[in-house]
Structure 1
Amino acid sequence: MSTASDQWRALALQFDGHRIEAIQIIKALVAGQDGAQAMAETFLSRPHLPGEQVLAARVAEIASCPK
């Protein structure tokens, strides 16, 4: 069983991972890197990450975790 702090850390890392991926793709596009356009198209074609729903689910999980 994970602790509440583990759950918060996982939530932060999930959103940070998306941010870092987007930055890497932007840098590749600016640099004219081969395959950057395909990376961007793949990233943009993924379903929207419903941040509010993810947060609500994680908060519910955290509430049930030991302190």
Structure 2
Amino acid sequence: MSIVITGSVAYDYLMFYPGLYREQILPDRLDKISLSFLAESMRKERGGVAANIAYTMKLLGADPIV
């Protein structure tokens, strides 16, 4: 049996930051927070709600249609 999945199909851009976010965020200055992080690397993966659900359903033996 086929199941129709609706939702977003997108790309996820996953970046690697080698530091700790808590080192950059000052608890006493949360009202004036302004941060930027330099990522060492980035990779592009398929994603989106519909794509992720369909992928998992296929792993479970279903026949999803996006």
TM-score category by the smaller chain? under 0.3
Higher strand share: 2
Higher helix share: 1
* Greater Cα radius of gyration, structure 1 or 2: 2
